[in-house]
Amino acid sequence: MWKFSYKYGWSEIEDFLTHTQKETGSIDLSEDIRNAGYEPADAMSIGNMICGDVIMEVYVGNPERAHYAYLVELDLLAGCDPQFVALKTFPDLIELINKVLPIAVASEKIHQLRSSTGESMDMNSLF
């Protein structure tokens, strides 16, 4: 699991979702996130949810239970496990969105191109 700060950048931290999973015996990731004190933020998903190319899901922490103010699930590579990023402040969240949004927009455009041609395209064909 990662922590991100707009001032200090990235650092790896202990995965508190794994601890929650071990404590509750859960096999449901969304349940683990809730048990750790986080709820999905309304309308804070970024990316192409249909094809799954890029997903950024934001969760808001309960101040009495959560380790951080925000937890962000990033699924940047289809077929790979999502990565989680913990954030302490709203400015940290905004800066992370600024970093991920261009990737999400590019992914959506690639998906639209693929859909319109009916073919699968590789990235090299765009250049």
Residue 43 has pLDDT above 70, yes or no: no
Task: State the pLDDT at residue 121.
Answer: 47
How do beta strands 38-47 and 55-61 pair?
antiparallel
Tens of pLDDT, residue by residue over 66-120, are 999 999 998 877 667 888 999 999 999 999 999 988 887 777 777 778 777 765 5
Q: What is the pLDDT of residue 64?
A: 92
Q: How confident is the model at residue 1 (pLDDT cuts 50, 70, 90)?
A: very high
Computed over every residue of the chain, the mean pLDDT equals 80
39 pLDDT above the threshold of 80: yes
Which pLDDT score, from 0 to 100, does residue 105 have? 77
Which pTM value belongs to this model? 0.76
Of the chain, the percentage scoring pLDDT greater than 90 comes to 38
